[in-house]
Structure 1
Amino acid sequence: MFADDYLEEPYWWSAAPLPAADENTQPVSLGGRADVVIVGGGITGLVAALHLARSGCDVAVLDAQRIGEGAARRNAGFVGRTLKRSVEWLAAKSGRDHAVRVYRELDTALRGVEAFVERERIDCHYQTCGRFIAANSKAHFQALIGELEQTRQAVGFDYSVVEKQDVRTEIASDRYHGGAVIPDLGSIHPGLYHAGLVSKVLEAGVRLHPITNVMGIDRNASGKTVRTSRGDIAARHVVVATNGYTSRDLKWLARRVIPFRGFVIATELLPPETIDKVMPRRRTYLDTRMNIDFIRPAPDSSRILFGGMTGTASPTATPLAGTLRDRLVRILPDLEGVRLSRAWTGHCAGTFDFMPHIGVKDGVNFALGYNFAGIPLGTHFGEKLAARILQRGDMTSAFDVEKFPTAPFFNGSPWFVPLAMRYFDWHDDRIARG
């Protein structure tokens, strides 16, 4: 099952290895102050830091791990504008104008990634490859096309229908009951994207402080004091951009994001013609279940990446690697006998209303709860956070709401996530049965 070069670590780290624990690390004690302290060295934090530093701010980025060790270099590299809440659901909940604003901002975030990559000249294999969404049942197919048509009528996003008999023009599988192609969605090498951001912020003079746990943020007359495992640092502004890695020491925020694990495997090197056979358009692929399976070709080698079993209560990926491989082969039987070169896990984050949020609490700016839209919204929210601190540019966001919901007695422990995933599986099976 495992190739000779098998490792339990993200595939992306081969091209974008993490720095050593002491590389780019500031002195052991933080001390002093900064104009802006950013908690979280992922995409959101580094994009915000870059804009702020180039505008003359002294910026310090703190991260509990090595810079890039979290979700920034662990995710699947899908770039889309998909939410778990549809246009019609949002329209019924908060009005059609708000629903349209949300999806238009998602589109802005999607297009902003490509523009940012081009502007900064970050070599990270960004491409507009399109996405195929595969329907798990006839009922899922009808629901998918209905939702895509509602979205097209509301905001004009294009799609094309793929009938059941034509699925193999997109993916070599007989498991699906049709699907749809969204042509303008993209993919990226998240490791190289984040590594490029690290290089840019260092050039701009940002101070990076890895292996620095934040234990609290206090307000005072002159601004704020961030208490950390390496001493205190004072700042005029503080940003929290930790998503699925939000510490329970940040109690208010930790009670509002639900961390859960995602799992991904990468195959051994395959003949290019095999990938062309099973994924002839070389798009990104996912299905219509709430707890999705997702597939993509690696952008820089002849491998296939597959993810699923999200929310499973396993601290490591290797125990699930065989099951994930078997699921991949059931979808793509031509991969029978394939071996694995990588398996990994990392923290994602959901919210109780299935919506990302950006806002301010007690003078602290935050952007959290990406619900699988981390690359586009992380980039977009990083720019928004910088604009708000600088008080210039477009500071508004449809995701900025007064109420960031939580649940009674929730303290940041995601003990219920496996149960929720089983419920979603039951619900999807119920839909499939009509």
Structure 2
Amino acid sequence: MLEASKVGWAASGRNGGQLIGGFACEIDTFAKYMPESDVQRMWKMGLETLDIVKDRVAKHQIDCDLTMGYLTAANKPKHVDALRTWRDDAKKRFNHDRYRYIERAHMDQYVQSSRYLGGLFDPDSGHLHPLNYTLGLARAAVESGVRIYENSCVTTLRKENSTHLIETAKGTVRAKFVVLACNTWLGALAPQVSRKIMPVGTYVIATEPLDPTRAAALMPARAAVCDSRFVLDYFRPAPDNRLLWGGKVSYSTFAPRNLAEAMRRDMLKTFPQLADVKVDYAWGGFVDITMNRAPHFGRLAPTVYFAQGFSGHGVNTTGLAGKLIAEAIHGQASRFDLFGKIRHRDFPGGALLRTPALVLAMAWYRMKDWL
């Protein structure tokens, strides 16, 4: 494995730790490109992403504070209707009855805030410490015989007869199969693929540790939470009783000014009772989104695979991507090829204008969130 920096340096180590079943797109995004029987298979794979993480944590004894429970909170009456509809559709269409709608009167069991009108609880999703999980996977890989070369940025990928040559500044690797797992950092290595994703900045703060009693009252179920807006907030409790608050999405790739204070102001809209609490840490990074928010898996050549476009669901969907690519390399490509049926478009505007175009589009969605 050739790693441009350190294992866990980018999104795999710096993300918000939200473990969310399914995919970032609506399930009927898949229905545009495949029959209902295949949509059913996609649904099952969306749930399988959670099992992959849980199984690996248990098998390799990864100490990453895996905690189950996830709540999608409703900001507006229309979100209430949408969450109830999603619960009902999951049961009727996919025979999945695990989702539980939480009425507003009972929301204080999950989050001590008057901001939300209700929520949909998923007991099978949850949260974890992302860097510890990533490092645990790396340790397990090394123990299985994988050689990891850090600080080995790939500069060129080319074909020589039946062999792929993967070049770095310090050496060249010859391989029969290649997997590109670079997401927002793919760049010029495969421009025909990188044009189909957009780097979007997202940011997290960690408060100082709260008194245990106060922390328990703030989020009694210790579930991860996200809201229902297009430009959403997400947050979760940490084992040391900090609150981890994420959001402030930036489509310009520029971090907000005075990041920690800007994030803190957003946090206080939900938790005004934390006005006396300090912020100890603030950080950010990029997620790779596709135009339709569906994962983008495929091949550049018969033996060159790529997986990208996780659109905020990378903690668990990346595990599925690796599993499906491994199946394909071993000759069982039917599940991997399902994703190839999905049409992915380039972001408009080319290299110079696509980010400004996206900023304008997202300004419209922010306005809709406010209305």
Whether TM exceeds 0.5 here: the answer is: yes
Query: Is structure 2 residue 195 aligned with structure 1 residue 266?
Result: no
Q: C-alpha separation between the residues in 2 aligned to 1:183 and 1:202?
A: 32
Q: Which runs of 5+ in 1 are unaligned?
A: 1-60
Query: 1:317·1:345 contact (CA, 8 Å) conserved in 2?
Result: no
Q: 1:68-87 to 2 correspondence within 5 Å?
A: 68-87=8-27
Match of 1:43 in 2: none
Q: 1:14-413 to 2 correspondence within 5 Å?
A: 61-91=1-31, 94-128=34-68, 130-157=69-96, 158-298=98-238, 300-313=239-252, 315-316=254-255, 319-363=258-302, 364-391=304-331, 396=336, 398-401=338-341, 403-411=343-351
Query: 1:263·1:317 contact (CA, 8 Å) conserved in 2?
Result: no
Residues paired across the two proteins, number: 368
Percent sequence identity over aligned pairs: 27
**TM-score (ref. length: structure 1):** 0.79
Q: C-alpha separation between the residues in 2 aligned to 1:103 and 1:381?
A: 15
Q: C-alpha separation between the residues in 1 aligned to 2:321 and 2:32?
A: 25
> Structure 1 counterpart of 2:296, which letter?
H
Task: Flag the 1:218–1:89 CA change in 2: closer, same or farther, 3 A.
Answer: closer
Q: C-alpha separation between the residues in 2 aligned to 1:195 and 1:64?
A: 16
Q: C-alpha separation between the residues in 2 aligned to 1:281 and 1:374?
A: 24
What SS does the corresponding residue of 1:234 show, helix, strand or coil? strand
Query: 1:267·1:340 contact (CA, 8 Å) conserved in 2?
Result: yes
RMSD: 2.2
* Higher mean C-alpha displacement, 397-406 vs 95-104: 397-406
Query: 1:311·1:417 contact (CA, 8 Å) conserved in 2?
Result: no
Q: Which structure has more RCO (C-alpha within 8 Å, separation ≥ 6)? A: 1
> Structure 1 counterpart of 2:137, which letter?
L
Query: 1:264·1:305 contact (CA, 8 Å) conserved in 2?
Result: yes
Task: Flag the 1:146–1:93 CA change in 2: closer, same or farther, 3 A.
Answer: farther
State the Cα distance separating 1:329 from its structure 2 match.
1.4
Q: C-alpha separation between the residues in 2 aligned to 1:85 and 1:418?
A: 20
Query: 2:251·2:355 contact (CA, 8 Å) conserved in 1?
Result: no
What SS does the corresponding residue of 1:248 show, helix, strand or coil? helix
Q: C-alpha separation between the residues in 2 aligned to 1:429 and 1:96?
A: 35
Q: C-alpha separation between the residues in 1 aligned to 2:76 and 2:255?
A: 31
> Structure 1 counterpart of 2:38, which letter?
H
Q: C-alpha separation between the residues in 2 aligned to 1:169 and 1:229?
A: 54
**TM-score (ref. length: structure 2):** 0.91
Q: C-alpha separation between the residues in 1 aligned to 2:27 and 2:343?
A: 20
Q: C-alpha separation between the residues in 2 aligned to 1:90 and 1:100?
A: 10
Match of 1:37 in 2: none
Q: C-alpha separation between the residues in 2 aligned to 1:389 and 1:414?
A: 35
Match of 1:425 in 2: 366
Match of 1:49 in 2: none
